[in-house]
Homo-oligomer: A and B are copies of this chain.
Amino acid sequence: MHSPELLKGTLQTIVLKVLKDHGKMYGYEITQRVKELSEDRIILTEGALYPTLHKLEAEGILKTETVMLGKRVRKYYALTAEGKSLARERVNEFIDFIKTMSSVLQVELS
């Protein structure tokens, strides 16, 4: 991503929507999926991702399931009912935001 500033504030939206579309996922998997979907333009850093996941879990937006793969820990995250509704809300907010910005910047979205 050329302008990382723009990404600020979108992390929760991204995480929630990706989890909504792909079901339960673990942290590293989320980073890879987002990298893929964005064609390497959005690279989620662990320093931002993990604290966000922990926060959303603490708020009851996400629920977790810890799995052992041999000796390695893998922590799966999934949306709770509340999380699903928040995911919808966040995406709608983002769409509103884009529409508003398009008016201000006077750009057409194809």
Give me the interface of A with B, judged by CB distance under 8 Å. Answer: 1-10, 13-14, 17-18, 21, 34, 37-39, 41-42, 90-91, 93-98, 100-101, 103-107, 109-110
Chain B residues within an 8 Å CB radius of A94: 3, 6, 101, 105, 107
Least CB distance from A84 to B in Å reads: 15
Least CB distance from A90 to B in Å reads: 8
Least CB distance from A93 to B in Å reads: 5
State whether A10 touches B101 (Cβ < 8 A).
Answer: yes
What is the CA–CA distance of A39 and B10 in the complex, to the nearest angstrom? 22
Least CB distance from A98 to B in Å reads: 6
State whether A6 touches B93 (Cβ < 8 A).
Answer: yes
